[in-house]
Amino acid sequence: MGKHLRYFSVLSLLIAALVSYSCSEEFLIKEPRGVAAGFVISSPDGVEAVLIGAYASLRGRSMFGGALCTDWMYGSITSDDSYFGPYATFPPLERYEVTPSHPYVSQRWQDCYNGVAGANRTLEQLAENLKGNNPIPVQRALQIEAEAKFLRAWFHFQANKVFEKIPYIKTKAELHPLLPEMVPNSDPAWDSIEEDLQFAIDNLPASRSSTEPGRVHKYAAEAVMAHAYMYQNELSLARPLLDDIINSGLFELAPEFYYNYDMTHENNSESIFEIQAATTPTAQTSIYPAGGAFFQKGPASCGGWGCFQPSQCLFEAFQVTGDGLPVHEIENREPLAHDQGIASSGTFVPTGHLLDPRVDWTIARRGIDFLGWGINPGNDWIREQYWGGPYMTKKYMHLKSEQVLNNYGTGFYNGKNYRMYRLTNILLWRAEIAVEDGDLELARSLVNQVRNRAKNSTPVMGLCTSYENLGKDPVVDWTQPAANYKIEPYPEGHVAFTNKEEARKAVRMEIRLEFATEGHRFFDLRRWEIDDEVLNDFIVRDIAFRWFMTGTVYDPEKHDYWPLPRQAVEEQKGVLEQDPDYVNVPY
């Protein structure tokens, strides 16, 4: 069935894993509504159905506070990459003012542990099946266990990113005699995450299924394990995993940068762990629920809500020198023209500065074609410019030519997959490690693989020479690139790779440019231990562009993680401990 897991279409028991759990301790132990009788659900087909339900939870249920796939709320808008956008009632995360009562932290907690519950239910039903008269064959049973433990580790990792200390919830049998609701959050749970991932590495198949590409495999587990080690700065442990993925020969860079974001090239040669999505005439399993949150008021999104807007800081990071190389130091970058505060009927001349071509596959801006839906007219497509600036994201919307692939709605929901891990992640993490190892030439080579792919990719086309009223018959030369693009690899002997300090900047810059708006930036700044420096400098600079951050200060001792939900702490009093930085924060 192509890109989708076949059980989505044939097993109605999926419903059981999609129900919503309470934020209380019940989510650890309660029987979901709609669950079939035990003898049915522990049959081979029943176990497979529950597993697929656990996979379905990868998307999460909350587009705002949950944000499991995109991590836009915690990884992007809390960084220098993006703004929340409109709606003044929602931005406490952006200003680092979240309290334990804020609904977003509750939504993240729920989505993570709903997923954990689905993984554990799979393991419990598998155990029941193996005790019965129709046991699943041994090899498949091991793979099911490995898939479920992979998912369990991933959901806990997603909780770990946001909450500094978390409870690691296993099945009742694994925890006995300790009850699930009595598991404390005494640490970040790295040991348990790694234990489950190691089981997955040891027991998953070594290649992606040709018929069920959404199923995880050994290298997906290695990628998540390596990521966990990178978060802990355990580079020597991440290195062999990254090398194993690179040397497997199973993955190669897609020929076009945008193949990692369109619908036509999903599950391509670069993809390592891709979360599947689909739409049908009667339903949707959208990862982005949907365009509704992320897209502007233009024709592509049926009147989207206009959240998640790239920052001016991010836009200016895409400028390059005459040699086609990035400007690493923010103080050395030139201010770039923007249309903040300019009506679409007014005159605005876009910057002619040399730019990395990835910018216009990432940021939707005035005067540039929006994925075939038309020339972006600027303010008319932005809900409230003064809150969120003049830009919108592009990576989460489908091309107009791909609308035929969406059978539900007109763009408010789409069936676009999310590439959680791809070869580019692996190459650039390996480059990070090479820098710290002092192998600067290897680091340069790995970064250049990524830059050469961007260089050889098709740029956004359509040079617009109209400067006002772009919503009405703009003048466009579709044979020309949309802007003044240039990108080159770092030449041998370049200063960026002559010492560790400069090489770190080069690799980190490449990570920012390649993965901009993909929910990684804040977490990267935190693990690099430069969050204080970068974010407070960003706040000062951004106030000159947009007043919203006035009075905000980022405190790395307090704001590096978010508080546990108040309700969870109260209902498991004496078990769950609130982050000390939030104990005395008014609810």
| CA pair distance 113, 357, nearest whole angstrom | 39
Are 300 and 401 in a shared domain? yes
Neighbours of 59 (CB within 10 A): 23
Question: Which residue segment(s) compose the domain that 184 sits in?
Answer: 7-207+561-582
101 CB neighbour count, 10 Å cutoff = 14
Which tokens hold the place of 165? 């200390």
Q: Is residue 276 part of a domain?
A: no
Distance separating alpha carbons of residues 253 and 454, to the nearest angstrom: 10
Domain end (from 519, 539, 569): 519
Residue with tokens 């993965």: 515
If one counts every other C-beta atom within 10 angstroms of the C-beta of residue 164, the result is 17
Tokens coding 567: 């309700």
Kindly give the pairing relationship between strand 461-464 and strand 476-481: antiparallel
Tell me how far apart the alpha carbons of residues 411 and 516 are, in angstroms, rounded to a whole number.
22
Q: Are 397 and 407 in contact (CB under 8 A)?
A: no
Q: Quick one: pLDDT at residue 70?
A: 87
Closest CA to 261 of 438, 422, 419: 419
Is 31 a member of any domain? yes
For residues 285 and 73, what is the distance between their CA atoms, to the nearest angstrom? Answer: 20
Query: Would 448 be classed as within a structural domain?
Result: yes
- The answer, yes or no, to whether the previous bond of 177 is cis (omega within 30 of 0) is yes
Same domain, 184 and 310: no
Rounded Cα distance between 218 and 207, Å, is 7
Position 405 in a domain = yes
Residue with tokens 């959050």: 185
CA distances in angstroms from 1 to 7, 8, 9, 86, 127, listed in the order given: 10, 10, 9, 40, 29
User: pLDDT tens digits, the chain, 587 residues: what are they?
Assistant: 333 343 333 233 333 333 333 333 443 344 444 444 455 678 999 999 999 999 999 988 877 887 888 899 999 999 999 999 876 556 688 999 999 999 999 999 999 999 999 999 999 999 999 999 999 999 999 999 999 999 999 999 999 999 999 999 999 999 999 999 999 999 999 999 999 999 999 999 999 888 899 999 999 999 999 999 999 999 999 999 999 999 999 999 999 999 999 999 999 999 999 998 877 665 555 554 444 567 667 766 556 778 899 999 999 999 999 999 999 999 999 999 999 999 999 999 999 999 999 999 999 999 999 999 999 999 999 988 888 999 999 998 888 898 888 766 555 677 889 999 999 999 999 999 999 999 999 999 999 999 999 999 999 999 999 998 888 889 999 999 999 999 999 999 999 999 999 999 999 999 999 999 999 999 999 999 999 999 999 999 999 998 889 999 999 999 999 999 999 999 999 999 999 999 887 76
Helix (H) or strand (E) holding 153: helix 138-162
Encoded amino acid at 507, one letter: V
| Residues 488, 569 within the same domain | no
Same domain, residue pair 346 and 446: yes
Alpha helices, DSSP H, located in 204-326: 218-231, 235-247, 291-294, 312-317
Residue 165 lies in a domain: yes
Angle between helix 190-203 and helix 218-231 axes, rounded to 10 deg: 160
In a domain, 225, yes or no: no
Based on the fold, state whether residues 183 and 323 are members of the same structural domain: no
The count of domains in the chain is 2
SS3 76: helix
- Regarding whether 437 and 355 lie in a shared domain, the answer is yes
Are the C-beta atoms of residues 306 and 396 closer than 8 Å to each other?
no
Instruction: Count CB-CB contacts under 10 A for residue 209.
Output: 13
What is the pLDDT at residue 11?
33
- Domain presence at residue 250: no
Domain-embedded: residue 299:
yes
- The token pair at 463 is 């040079």
Which pLDDT belongs to residue 210? Answer: 85
- 307 and 424 both lie in a single domain: yes
Same domain flag for 304 and 186? no
Indicate if 569 and 514 belong to the same structural domain: no
- Same domain, yes or no, for 33 and 93? yes
Q: What is the DSSP letter of 475?
A: -
Whole-number Å distance between alpha carbons of 65 and 586 = 20
User: What's the pTM?
Assistant: 0.92
Q: Are residues 443 and 578 in the same domain?
A: no
Rounded to whole angstroms, the Cα distance separating 165 from 301 reads 38
CATH number of the domain at 477, please.
1.25.40.390
The verdict on 94 and 20 lying in the same domain is yes
CA angle 510-429-416, nearest 5°? 75
One-letter amino acid of 545: F
- Cis check: omega of the bond before 290, within 30 degrees of 0: yes
Tokens for 585?
A: 């924060």
